[in-house]
Amino acid sequence: MDSIEKPDKEKLQENASLTIPLLTGNEAFHFFVSYSSLDSSWAHKFIRKLETDYSDLRICYHERDFLPGKNIIENMVDCIQQSQKMLLILSQDFVQSRWCLLEANLSVFRYCMERKPVIPIMLKPCQIPLHLNHLTYLDVNDTSFYEKIIKAICTPNHLMKHSTLVPYQLSSIYNGKTLMILPCINKDNLPSWKLGTFGSSNIPDPLKMVIDDPEVYRRAINILNEVSSPKCCLRYLSCRITLCIILSIFAIFLFAFAIVTLFVVHPYLQRSVSKFVLLFLMLHFPMLLLSMSIVALVVNMMCWARRSRKEKLRELNLKVGEANLILANHSVLMGYETINKLSFVYISLKECEKVFLDTFPDENPSAKEMFQSAIIRYSSSYACCVANKHFPLSEEVEEEGHMNDGLCFCQYVSLQLKNNRWLGDGIGLA
């Protein structure tokens, strides 16, 4: 806020030489401001500052300039069409409310938003909407923020042709972008080992722009919901406590029995050491075998529980891969961050699929089958790497991939195979 209230004098002089563009045709405003109602206090203060410093500037915002009698969609369309530019004040509240309104009616707004420069202002940290990811936002905490916004406002539209909203189909821009993190719907009071349930009735808003068919999303999520939680009684705290109590009682019993036996056989020590040893072994050997058997049973149960968890994670990984076979047709992949949290990323696999087809043209199984198998086995872990921008062993890759920021899918599969990870029957790539 200080950068708005007290801009540097030299920079103000520099901005004074900038010219506010003339309004032409049906233009009534220099820009339309969209913001969340929770950010209205900051927005109004910012607008008053602009209008005080630049009396010729015509700014449109909904509290003042929307016409009564029209619904909000009609008012927004009219205001955007009558404005030279759009200014979006970004915050988490904006993304969840105002942008969702734009996004849900994107077919209505797209015509004008793809022709009007969009200036995003980062008021509070938030996840940038996918359609705006290619734009450089202005941060209000930047000491030169006010000067930069004035310069953007005064720049003619024909010099800002790359600042418009871009359709999501341009995968070169969006490849590798995180769409959303989806927790399970029953996450509250859910044990860490138990698999949650993911909602499949409605497509989450961040995915609507890339998946327009609810049935596609429903089918993918239902594949995951088919996976059952690991079955092991030791997962429950009550079972572990009960087992500890039983073992404690047994240990106390053995200790007491040893003490009692020692006093019973003590008279024999003076008569014959061999008789004492024989009697001691006769009394304690069965107990020793029993205790060793119980210890072996407990260790085996723990190892079984660990193996069971690994098998369940493997099953979940493959189920996510099966779901990705459906989502990949819409340039979306998902991976499980934890067993109860999914990451969705925008990834186009068309170029990577061509690599498989060109590399294995006459193989058996076919190149297409191998590509599908690779998606099933590797896509979940790959999606997590993309979401976290973390690609282990990426320094080993020398050839150029199909993604600017990180490894593309075919590079990732090649690395995994090179390091003999997750190879199995049917992969056909080793």
Is the residue at 221 inside a domain?
Answer: no
Give the per-residue pLDDT at 430: 31
Locate 170 and state its tokens: 């341009």
Clarify whether residues 249 and 371 are in a common domain.
no
Clarify whether residues 141 and 188 are in a common domain.
no
Clarify whether residues 152 and 10 are in a common domain.
yes
Locate 107 and state its tokens: 């077919």
Pairing, β 138-139 against β 118-122? parallel
Domain assignment of residue 57, given as a range:
2-167
Q: What is the CATH number of the domain that holds 103?
A: 3.40.50.10140
Strand, coil or helix: what is 182?
strand
CA atoms of 80 and 298, how far apart (whole Å): 69
DSSP 426: T
Strand, coil or helix: what is 84?
strand
The per-residue pLDDT string of the chain (430 residues; one tens digit each, 9 = 90 and over) reads: 444 555 555 554 455 557 888 888 888 999 999 898 889 999 999 999 999 988 889 999 988 988 888 888 788 888 888 999 989 999 888 887 777 666 556 656 666 666 788 889 999 988 777 777 777 889 999 888 999 999 888 888 878 766 766 554 445 556 788 888 888 887 777 666 677 788 888 888 777 767 878 899 999 999 988 888 766 555 555 666 676 677 667 667 766 766 666 566 555 554 555 555 655 555 566 666 666 666 666 666 666 566 667 777 888 889 999 999 999 988 899 998 777 889 998 888 888 888 888 887 777 778 888 899 999 999 999 999 988 888 877 777 767 777 777 888 988 988 888 876 644 433 333 3
Asked whether the beta carbons of 379 and 418 are under 8 A apart, the reply is no
Residue 231 CB contacts under 8 Å (≥ 6 apart), including other chains:
308
Asked whether the beta carbons of 341 and 328 are under 8 A apart, the reply is no
Question: Which candidate, 163, 97, 152, places its Cα nearest to that of 126?
Answer: 97
Domain boundary at 273, 292, 308, which?
308
Clarify whether residues 334 and 248 are in a common domain.
no
Clarify whether residues 403 and 319 are in a common domain.
yes
Give the per-residue pLDDT at 426: 35
Give the per-residue pLDDT at 59: 93
Element (H, E) at 85: strand 83-90
Locate 166 and state its tokens: 């871009």
Domain boundary at 110, 134, 167, which?
167
Give the per-residue pLDDT at 217: 92
Is the residue at 303 inside a domain?
Answer: yes
Count of residues for the chain? 430
When divided into structural domains, the chain yields a total of: 3
Q: What angle do CA 269, 275, 277 make, to 5 degrees?
A: 80
DSSP 93: H
Asked whether the beta carbons of 416 and 422 are under 8 A apart, the reply is yes
What stretches of 175-231 show up as alpha helix (H) in DSSP?
A: 205-208, 214-225
Clarify whether residues 67 and 37 are in a common domain.
yes
Give the per-residue pLDDT at 324: 94
Is the residue at 224 inside a domain?
Answer: no
Give the per-residue pLDDT at 327: 93
Give the per-residue pLDDT at 382: 93
> Dihedral, CA atoms, 356, 357, 361, 365, nearest 10 degrees?
60
Helix count and strand count (H, E) for the chain: 17, 8
Element (H, E) at 240: helix 237-265
Locate 115 and state its tokens: 């022709």
Question: Which candidate, 116, 202, 228, 97, places its Cα nearest to that of 166?
Answer: 116
Residue whose token pair is 């596609």: 216
Domain boundary at 274, 308, 342, which?
308
Pairing, β 29-34 against β 59-60? parallel
Strand-pairing partners, residue 333, are: 345
Clarify whether residues 158 and 14 are in a common domain.
yes
Is the residue at 430 inside a domain?
Answer: no
Measured CA distances, 186 to 67, 231, 236, 340, 420 (Å): 43, 19, 18, 9, 36
Clarify whether residues 107 and 154 are in a common domain.
yes
Clarify whether residues 351 and 205 are in a common domain.
yes
Residue 194 CB contacts under 8 Å (≥ 6 apart), including other chains:
229, 235
State the number of CA atoms in the 13 A half-sphere of 354 facing the CB.
Answer: 6
Asked whether the beta carbons of 324 and 379 are under 8 A apart, the reply is yes
Question: Which candidate, 370, 379, 231, 374, places its Cα nearest to that of 317?
Answer: 379
Clarify whether residues 207 and 351 are in a common domain.
yes
Asked whether the beta carbons of 120 and 135 are under 8 A apart, the reply is yes
Give the per-residue pLDDT at 139: 92
Give the per-residue pLDDT at 291: 65
On the 0-12 / 13-18 / 19+ scale of CB atoms within 10 A, 323 is buried
Clarify whether residues 301 and 371 are in a common domain.
no
- pTM, two decimals, is 0.56
Is the residue at 222 inside a domain?
Answer: no
